[in-house]
Chain A
Amino acid sequence: MNDPLIQLKNLSFAYDAERPVLDGLSLDLQRGQRLGLIGGNGSGKTTLLHLIVGLIKPRSGRVVVFGQTRSGERDFKEVRRRVGLVFQDADDQLFCPTVLEDVAFGPRNLGCSIEEARESAVTTLRNLGLEGFENRVTYRLSGGEKRLVALATVLAMKPDVLLLDEPGGNLDETSRARLTEILASLPQTILLVTHEPELLNRVATDVVRLENGAVKGTTSRP
């Protein structure tokens, strides 16, 4: 089947009525696609990602994920089990005292046993080059370390689709290079919001720009 994994149809959204953020936006995310989403500050990129996982509901238009129109909380519960959103601010994502608990939190919610969750957390951390972070206290990590751990918390759930909200922020050269490698090697379908040309070049196969509440033109990359 060649249906897009995620389809946004004619979405409109506003936090307050006078200033619409999204206005008749349509966007498809195909299976295996790595779509880069760019756009100025305040253009509505974060808002778009939150609409996909149902944290906010559109004023009009439809959100279709995995071939089904999603509207109620129950629909989105299922979406969130398979679509991983990494928040723009890692402090929003990390809430457990230790890194291990935070990374294992998602798998536990998916019904894994303690041992499976621990296993998957440890593996994920190792894949991200975060060995030895298991017992670190989350709020005492540096900004960059928090970003990587936040990514780990989502990857540990092995989602089908990854929604990344500026994953490169706060990272140093080395970490950024590693993040680029990691993202480029992931099998998942990815929607990547970023301002960084380098990350975009290496990871995204297509790029769209969000402007005036709608999506402008697709540039395909080799």
Chain B
Amino acid sequence: MGLGRHTTQSGQAGLMDIFTPQPASYLRELDPRVRVACTFAFALAVTFLSHLPSLIIALATGALLTHLSRKPWKRILKRTAVLNLFLLLLGLSLAVSIPGEILYLVGPFMLSREGLTLGLVILLRANAILLTVTALLGSMEPPNLGFALYRLGVPASFTHILLFMIRYIEVIHVEYHRLRDAMQTRAFEPATNLHTFRSFGYLIGLLLVRSLDRSNRVLAAMKCRGFYGRYHVMQTLTWERRDTSFTVAAILVVLVMIVLEIM
């Protein structure tokens, strides 16, 4: 099994998703700068919310954006499932451990109103932010993300690092599978013994060496094509009407959330 996984076109590994063309949608048409800035502002605002009405608006915004991004809900829910399970457990442990007005008695445990509310707040905040980030930034090709960050004033070296990190996570992933396959085709079965530990040691060591090597060769190839620190994006950014209207809408939503929060 696993052989040739890194060369298949089907792209079953989740990591590869970052480069698959995203479904065409209204959000994709937006200026990347707008998307990055609005996401940042929204996420920042949401982290300060603690009242139910404003949090529900935040969550609804996230859901609306997800709907607009035209990504299949099923995939999104599956992805958020792990996080939500974790948050539920966290919420429960908060409910048990934070003292306050007792709502329920479950065996020896007392669930407090304060604890439950805190758990719920965290759950809502996390989901609102997660949905928004997936919808607005998840549909963005990495070069655009890098370019947007750069245009918003993030230093060029940082955006380069980010871009190349995104690009080479995949390469390292592929390299890892290549090595794993090489091991498995020679009947390697992981177990708890020295042979396994040593083999994994080699695997990780070789992975690091190879990645470093490849990064040097890629840089060399880039230099051969005239790269000296300036990354050109194949896209011109033009500010459209929809960018203005989206920004205005985003500002309104954030304001409404803040007002509801203060009231």
Contact = CB atoms under 8 A, between A and B. Distances in A.
B232 A108 contact: yes
B222 A95 contact: yes
Interface stretch (B47-55, B80-88, B107-115, B212-220): B212-220
Given A100-B234, A118-B234, A140-B11, A95 B224 contact: no
A140 B7 CA distance: 6
B141 interface: yes
Interface of A: 50, 53, 55, 77, 80-81, 84-85, 87, 89, 91-93, 95-97, 100-101, 104-106, 108-110, 114, 117-118, 135, 137, 139-140, 142-143, 153-154, 157
B223 A80 contact: yes
Contacts of B232: 105, 108-109, 114, 117
Contacts of B222: 95, 105
21 contacts: A53-B224, A77-B228, A81-B226, A84-B225, A91-B171, A91-B214, A92-B218, A92-B220, A95-B218, A95-B222, A97-B143, A101-B143, A104-B234, A105-B227, A105-B232, A109-B227, A109-B228, A114-B235, A117-B232, A140-B11, A157-B225
A167 to B, nearest CB: 15
B167 interface: yes
Contacts of B141: 97
A101 B225 CA distance: 13
Contacts of B234: 100-101, 104, 108, 114, 117-118
Given A55-B223, A55-B224, A92-B221, 17 more contacts: A77-B226, A77-B228, A80-B225, A85-B221, A85-B224, A87-B217, A89-B217, A92-B218, A96-B143, A105-B227, A114-B235, A139-B19, A139-B174, A140-B16, A142-B7, A143-B7, A154-B224
B221 A87 contact: yes
Interface of B: 7, 9, 11, 16, 19-21, 141-143, 167, 170-171, 174, 214, 217-218, 220-228, 230, 232, 234-236
Given A93-B221, A140-B11, A135 B226 contact: no
A101 B171 CA distance: 18
Q: Ordered nearest first, which 5 A-B pairs have the shortest CB separation?
A: A109-B226, A108-B232, A106-B225, A92-B217, A93-B221
A59 B227 CA distance: 26
A114 B223 contact: no
A55 B220 contact: yes
A105 B142 CA distance: 16
A80 B9 CA distance: 34
B21 A139 contact: no
B234 to A, nearest CB: 5
Contact of A80 (B11, B170, B218, B226): B226
B224 A80 contact: yes
A142 B20 CA distance: 16
Nearest to A100: B234
